[in-house]
């Protein structure tokens, strides 16, 4: 058994490594497209009113897709709230898009975290599908002309610093 | 209301299968033809963006959540009572690393059939400590751990490494693992100190099937070498007792298949089946069926039924009729079945001291063991017994 | 030896297929609400599971393949 394993290990590892390298290279080569117009949508907000993305034209908009059952999302939102308070007066709009099936979870988490930015309800997942989200959370930065400029997948400690820099950059334009 | 909810909750499988197929075919053609896509509208662009985002990987592994558990455990059956406390603490640092430690105490009062028919009942305490480190690296979670288990006549140390990777946008989780164990077997009132070595290799794949169903397949190979028998246990030859003799090597393999699904009304089911086979000629089937349900805002109830059956080892016999190289009367290696139901109730007490989410759980299991080729020499009948298992614990997540 | 070649070849083919044809994951990250529920975890309480595993390990000949978790939220 041991001699068979010794022969298997270097050959199999080489083939496996080659396969992974190919997969990574193929996916990395497809660079993300930027400067494309952000798909428009209208959603009901937690506050009760309807909000349309097109109406935010002229402001820098950040869309944050989140859910109550997503741990990193709940970690990220207080940071986003801080950014909202900091840059809102300068023309920055932050829209939280919640995908919970039960709206009460969205309102519950939103009030528990004391969020100041509008939270929109995407229970039918229409907007999530429109933006073809690949991770939860997903954060999309849209410039004053309504074009998608940056997309962040997931959330890790420290991401908010990158958001800060990018918001400032887009506000300056 | 009910009708629209039902329609929304229908699995995406059927109606989007055609769309998926169309997507796959068009993407294949586009990629292979090396075409550059000029999106005409936002939706098509979003589709392409999404496709790209889905394929490219991000830091997508998550650390296990912080928690602290305190448990009281009890096993009572077949003349053995084992109870004690156990604690587990896990804390993450810098969002990258999670440290964990656990301490487990087992106070055993052993008056089992093996003990009372060959010696006298005894009390013994076993303690087990574990330290673990979990680290996130891109899409993978790397877990290292070490365990030390000690009782008066047996000590066991082990070290493990497990790598768990999320692939295919988190729909598939692949994990590989390795454990190396070193045991030292001793005997009361003797200078015996024999080593036993263990090697475990694990491979597991979990696949998300639908938004409500997932399944997993786990394979493990365990190899043992050294002193694998008990220095106290005897085998029977023509009714006379002689010290048992087990082989000094053993390789066993196990394959476990599990399926879990959310069946609506805040409830879920799970089914699992494991087949085990080894070089000692044992074949074992273990199956478990479980059901979970939320009740109200605070209660989570679980019920399960478990059944296990196995064949005896090649060198096992209740009463040998000739001398063999290897002979054992270890009922763990005999042919028997055991089965029983279990229930568990978890109460969510809510937030305490504005930091900890507290849960209190009680779990009870009843087991019946029925041997097919191991007799109770006190009665001459095939041996059987019932057992009660109890776990009471408090978990805090923070 | 043959089996290993087949497995390695299969993995290579799968990698090429995935790279070239981009099979899309059919459960989107925003559709994982049910899977993220603690009820859908195979192992919810590590200490209790350790206790049960020990009870059976000591009395049954079968051991191993107790499983490592996947599924869940799939976040990040």
Domains located in chain B, CATH noted = 2-55 (no CATH), 67-397 (2.40.160.40)
| Domain of residue C43, residue span | 2-59
Q: Chain A partners of C4 at a C-beta cutoff of 8 Å?
A: 8, 11-12
CATH of region A36-172, choose from 3.40.30.10, 3.40.50.300, 3.40.50.460, 3.40.605.10: 3.40.30.10
Q: Determine, yes or no, domain membership for C16.
A: yes
Q: Does position A26 have pLDDT exceeding 70, yes or no?
A: no
Check residues B346 and B64 and name the one with the higher pLDDT.
B346
Q: Determine, yes or no, domain membership for C70.
A: no
CA angle C61/C65/C71 to nearest 5° reads 155
| C-alpha span between B311 and B308 (Å, rounded) | 11
CB B343 within 8 A of CB B302: yes
Confidence class of residue C13 from pLDDT cuts 50, 70 and 90?
A: low
Sequence spans of domains, chain A: 1-31, 36-172
CB B101 within 8 A of CB B68: no
Q: Determine, yes or no, domain membership for C72.
A: no
* Contact flag A8-C32 (C-beta cutoff 8 Å): no
A67 burial type by CB count under 10 A (0-12 exposed, 13-18 middle, 19+ buried): buried
pLDDT, mean over chain B: 87
Mean pLDDT for B7-21 is: 45
Is A65 an 8 Å CB contact of chain C? yes
Q: Specify the 3-state DSSP secondary structure of A32.
A: coil
Q: Chain A partners of C19 at a C-beta cutoff of 8 Å?
A: 22-23, 26-27
Mean pLDDT for A95-119 is: 93
DSSP string computed for B119-186: S--EEEEEEEEEEEEEEEETTEEEEEEEEEEEETTEEEEEEEEEEEEEETTTTEEEEEEEEEEEEEEE
C-alpha pair distances (Å), C41 with each of B358, C66, C70: 18, 13, 8
CB A132 within 8 A of CB B53: yes
This prediction's pTM? 0.81
Confidence class of residue B46 from pLDDT cuts 50, 70 and 90?
A: very low
- Structural domains of chain C, count: 1
Q: Provide the percentage of residues in chain C whose pLDDT is more than 70.
A: 62
pLDDT tens-digit profile of B241-253? 999 999 999 999 9
**pLDDT given at position B299:** 97
Q: Does position B8 have pLDDT exceeding 70, yes or no?
A: no
Query: Cα-Cα-Cα-Cα dihedral of A108, A113, A116, A119, to 10°?
Result: -40
Q: Which residues from C are below 8 Å from A when comparing CB atoms?
A: 1, 4, 7-9, 11-12, 14-16, 18-20, 28-33, 36-37, 73-76
Q: Provide the percentage of residues in chain B whose pLDDT is more than 70.
A: 85
**pLDDT given at position B270:** 96
Q: Determine, yes or no, domain membership for C32.
A: yes
- B92: tokens are 């993450």
Mean pLDDT for C31-56 is: 92
ipTM attached to this prediction = 0.83
pLDDT, mean over chain A: 84
Confidence class of residue B37 from pLDDT cuts 50, 70 and 90?
A: very low
**pLDDT given at position B327:** 96
Q: Does position B105 have pLDDT exceeding 50, yes or no?
A: yes
Q: Does position B54 have pLDDT exceeding 50, yes or no?
A: no
**pLDDT given at position B277:** 97
Q: What subunits make at least 3 CB pairs under 8 angstroms with C?
A: A, B
- B396: tokens are 């805090």
pLDDT tens-digit profile of B361-392? 999 999 999 999 999 999 999 999 999 999 99
DSSP string computed for B203-246: EEEEEE-SSSEEEEEEEEEEEEEE--S-SS-EEEETTEEEE-B-
- B330: tokens are 């270890």
Q: Does position B53 have pLDDT exceeding 70, yes or no?
A: no
- B213: tokens are 């169903």
Q: Determine, yes or no, domain membership for C51.
A: yes
pLDDT tens-digit profile of B286-318? 999 999 999 999 999 999 999 999 999 999 999
Confidence class of residue B56 from pLDDT cuts 50, 70 and 90?
A: very low
Write out residues 38-67 of C within 8 Å (CB-CB) of B.
38-40, 42, 45-48, 50-52, 54-56, 58-67
Write out residues 57-116 of B within 8 Å (CB-CB) of A.
57-60, 62, 65, 94-95
Mean pLDDT for C52-66 is: 92
């Amino acid at each position: 058994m041991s001699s068979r394993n010794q022969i298997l290990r270097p050959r199999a590892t080489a083939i496996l490594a080659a396969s992974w390298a190919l997969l990574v290279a193929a996916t990395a080569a497809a660079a993300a497209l930027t400067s494309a117009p952000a798909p428009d949508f209208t959603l009901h907000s937690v506050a009760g009113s309807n909000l349309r993305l097109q109406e935010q034209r002229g402001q820098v908009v950040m869309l944050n897709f989140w859910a109550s059952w997503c741990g990193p999302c709940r970690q990220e939102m207080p940071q986003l709230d801080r950014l909202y308070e900091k840059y809102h007066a300068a023309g920055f709009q932050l829209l939280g898009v919640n995908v919970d099936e039960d709206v009460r979870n969205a309102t519950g988490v939103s009030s528990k975290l004391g969020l100041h930015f509008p939270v929109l309800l995407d229970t039918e997942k229409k907007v999530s599908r429109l933006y073809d989200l690949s991770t939860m959370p997903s954060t999309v930065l849209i410039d004053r002309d309504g074009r998608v400029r940056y997309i962040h997948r997931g959330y890790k400690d420290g991401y908010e610093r990158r958001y800060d820099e990018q918001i400032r950059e887009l506000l300056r334009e | 209301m009910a009708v629209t909810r039902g329609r929304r909750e229908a699995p995406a499988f059927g109606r989007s299968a055609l769309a998926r197929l169309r997507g796959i075919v068009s993407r294949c053609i586009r990629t292979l033809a090396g075409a550059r896509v000029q999106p005409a509208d936002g939706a098509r662009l979003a589709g392409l963006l999404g496709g790209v985002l889905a394929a490219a990987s991000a830091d997508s592994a998550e650390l296990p959540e912080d928690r602290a558990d305190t448990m009281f455990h009890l096993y009572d059956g077949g003349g053995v009572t084992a109870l004690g406390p156990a604690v587990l603490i896990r804390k993450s640092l810098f969002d990258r690393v999670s440290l964990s430690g656990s301490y487990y105490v087992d106070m055993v009062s052993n008056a089992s059939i093996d003990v009372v028919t060959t010696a006298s009942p005894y009390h013994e305490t076993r303690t087990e400590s574990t330290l673990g480190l979990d680290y996130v690296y891109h899409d993978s979670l790397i877990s290292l751990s070490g365990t030390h288990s000690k009782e008066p006549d047996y000590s066991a140390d082990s070290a493990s490494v497990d790598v768990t990777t999320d692939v295919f946008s988190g729909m598939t989780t692949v994990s590989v693992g390795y454990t190396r164990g070193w045991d030292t077997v001793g005997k009361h009132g003797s200078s015996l100190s024999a080593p036993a070595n263990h090697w475990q290799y694990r491979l597991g794949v979990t696949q998300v099937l639908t938004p409500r169903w997932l399944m997993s397949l786990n394979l493990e190979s365990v190899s043992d070498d050294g002193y694998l028998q008990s220095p106290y246990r005897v085998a029977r030859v023509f009714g006379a007792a002689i010290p048992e003799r087990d082989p000094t090597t053993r390789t066993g393999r196990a394959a476990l298949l599990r399926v879990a699904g959310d069946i609506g009304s805040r409830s879920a089911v799970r089914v699992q089946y494991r087949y085990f086979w080894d070089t000692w000629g044992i074949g074992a089937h273990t199956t478990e069926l479980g059901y979970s349900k939320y009740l109200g805002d605070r209660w989570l109830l679980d019920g399960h039924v478990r059944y296990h059956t196995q064949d005896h080892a090649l060198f096992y016999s209740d009463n040998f009729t000739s001398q063999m190289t290897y002979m054992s009367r270890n009922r763990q290696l005999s042919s028997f079945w055991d089965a029983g139901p279990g229930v568990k109730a978890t109460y969510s007490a809510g937030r305490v001291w504005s930091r900890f989410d507290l849960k209190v759980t009680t779990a009870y299991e009843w087991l019946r063991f029925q041997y097919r080729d191991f007799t109770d020499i006190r009665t001459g009948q095939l041996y059987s017994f019932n057992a009660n298992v109890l776990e009471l614990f408090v978990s805090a997540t923070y | 030896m043959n089996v290993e070649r087949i497995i390695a070849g299969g993995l290579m083919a799968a990698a090429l297929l995935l790279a070239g044809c981009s099979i899309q994951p059919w459960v989107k990250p925003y559709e994982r609400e049910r899977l993220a529920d603690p009820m859908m975890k195979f192992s919810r309480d590590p200490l209790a599971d350790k206790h049960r595993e020990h009870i059976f390990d000591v009395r049954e000949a079968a051991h191993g393949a107790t499983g490592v978790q996947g599924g869940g939220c799939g976040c990040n």
